[in-house]
Amino acid sequence: MKNVVVGLVGTVLDMRGKGAKRWERWRPSVSVCQQDGFPVDRFELIHDRDYTRFAHRIKQDIEETSPGTQVVLHSINVSDPWDFEQMYGALLDFCTQYRFDTETEQYHLHITTGTHVAQICWFLLCEANYIPATLLQSSPTPDQSAKGRLHHIDLDLSKYDKLASRFERQATDNIQFIKSGIETKNQKFNSMIDQLERVATRSDAPMLITGPTGAGKSQIAKRIYELKKHQGLLRGEFVSVNCATLRGDGAMSALFGHTKGAFTGAQSARQGLLSKAHDGLLFLDEIGELGIDEQAMLLHAIEEKCFYPVGADKTVNSNFQLIAGTNRDLTASIRDGLFRDDLLARINLWSYELPGLAQRKEDIAPNLDYELQQLERLRKQKISMNKSARRAYLAFAESPVATWPGNFRDLNASVVRMATLAEGGRITIDIVEEEILQLQSRWQRQSDSGERQIDLADYLNVEQLASIDRFDQHQLAYVIGVCQQTHSLSEAGRLLFDQSRLQKASNNDGHRLRQYLAKFGLKFDDF
């Protein structure tokens, strides 16, 4: 492969010295062709037309010191070399008109000469692959040798070991920041946060975060905003609203604002939430609760970055990033005519499903520690659990009996109750046992009210139900509830047979569960 160097004539450094003395000075363009082990077959030397005479002198000096190098001069017309638009346009024209032959030639872009603006333009053109070259930098040596030295700069930063390790550390720090520093263990959750961090720092496209109420959607959205704000990716505010609170005529006004006199009672103009989120992040929780008209307006605002306030005849601009949250199945809402398919397509580019706390039992312990630490900071006093209290609480919290219907809200409320009753901030086994009874009672009342009640008639016919004892009906309903909260037959089996499985040399919990369900003519997939 032939080595071809592309560079600009340096009107300062390349002009150093006159007569015979010029050979004693380091001149970047000349020194590139004097390096041992780096033969330059051709030098494409670009110069302003006002420096044509000087460019010819540099050409002669290169060919004299490096007889095997062919120098080809290219004239450009830039009236102000510090003007970015002029310089970028001139160098882009060179790149698009030049016929690169990457099969037989290897190109090196010499960035030492030229103004800082020219160097930036070269970098951008090389990064965008307008010029298929590696970056080449020459510099003087301490002894001021005329040869100087040469460095190749690889734009693939992953090849620089120290930089690569710094990138990895930064990504890890970002992930921990999004997780509020909690050392979570759930593999599915950790993998999701890992990708979410990369997307958050590289894209401003809308995101959709799904999951049950209390799973942490708003917390994740706020941490994404704080991360992007810290990195200078956002300048505006974090604006959060629960769409379930936006009802009737006030929904349009709250989101998009209104003009004075737009409707009865509009005595002054109002800035909507979308305007408030300009250059920031807008989090629309429970987006599935928005009305169809509001959805249409929102879609237009996302795509066009502008919208009409209620009663206005002029648009308002707002460049916001959107994160939407929902605990609904939006696809089912589309079938029911409650959600626009084009809006879902627009906000569903990056979609993340947060598992509920019952699906992340291994993360209860670190989240318990986090809640205790948060209370310590809030109350400015030490709050802790003794060993027996912690063991008893986690044994219950991680068991199949603990359904955590309110997810992290339930956990937070539970820790607050225990800390409030703790004398001197020390949570004892007595307090834990009382709290366990409290949680069981609350969840039972929710189940009795129908919030999480399993209706066996959904799975069994009248004859089957009539043949099953009431005791067995309650047990079967509980088993179905566990199956609904898990992702596989094996996982459900491990939870249901958590004690008896410890007494066995080998376990096949999935098979045991499959046999139990088969007695009623049921399969795990039914749920």
Encode 295-326 in three state secondary structure: HHHHHHHHHHCEECCECCCCCEECCCEEEEEE
Q: The tokens of 23 are what?
A: 């050979």
- Determine the Cα angle at 418 with ends 414 and 420, to 5°: 115
Mean pLDDT (whole number) for 195-222 = 92
Residue type, 497: F
Q: Which range among 69-73, 201-205, 491-495 shows the weakest confidence by mean pLDDT?
A: 491-495
DSSP element (H, E) containing 403:
none
The pLDDT > 90 percentage for the chain reads: 45
Average pLDDT, the chain: 87
Nearest to 284 by CA among 301, 308, 263, 271: 301
Q: Which residue has the higher pLDDT, 238 or 65?
A: 238
At 232 the three-state DSSP class reads coil
pLDDT confidence tier of residue 22, bands split at 50, 70 and 90: confident
pTM: 0.61
- Count CA atoms within 13 Å of residue 503 on its CB side: 3
- Count CA atoms within 13 Å of residue 44 on its CB side: 21
pLDDT for 6 equals 93
pLDDT for 244 equals 86
For each of the domains in the chain, give its residue range(s) and CATH number, in order of start.
Answer: 2-159 (3.40.50.10770), 174-353 (3.40.50.300), 360-448 (1.10.8.60), 456-526 (no CATH)
pLDDT digits (tens, 9 = 90+) for 313-361: 899 999 999 999 999 899 989 998 999 999 999 999 999 999 999 999 9
Query: Does the pLDDT at position 99 exceed 80?
Result: yes
pLDDT digits (tens, 9 = 90+) for 243-291: 888 877 688 888 998 888 777 777 788 888 999 999 999 999 999 999 9
pLDDT for 484 equals 84
d(CA 321, CA 60): 57
Mean pLDDT (whole number) for 430-446 = 89
Q: Which residue has the higher pLDDT, 408 or 172?
A: 408
pLDDT confidence tier of residue 165, bands split at 50, 70 and 90: low
155, 157, 299 from 335: Cα distances, Å: 49, 47, 19
The conformation of residue 258, written as its DSSP 8-state character, comes to B
pLDDT for 347 equals 94
Nearest to 74 by CA among 96, 48, 92, 103: 48
16, 258, 278, 354 from 12: Cα distances, Å: 7, 60, 46, 60
DSSP string, 46-100: EEEGGGHHHHHHHHHHHHHH-TT-EEEEEEE--S-TT-HHHHHHHHHHHHHHS--
Evaluate whether 223 touches 177 at the Cβ level (below 8 Å): yes
Paired with 353 in beta bridges are 210
- Count CA atoms within 13 Å of residue 363 on its CB side: 23
Q: The tokens of 61 are what?
A: 């000096």
Q: Which range among 67-71, 224-228, 418-422, 453-457 shows the weakest confidence by mean pLDDT?
A: 453-457
Evaluate whether 364 touches 185 at the Cβ level (below 8 Å): no
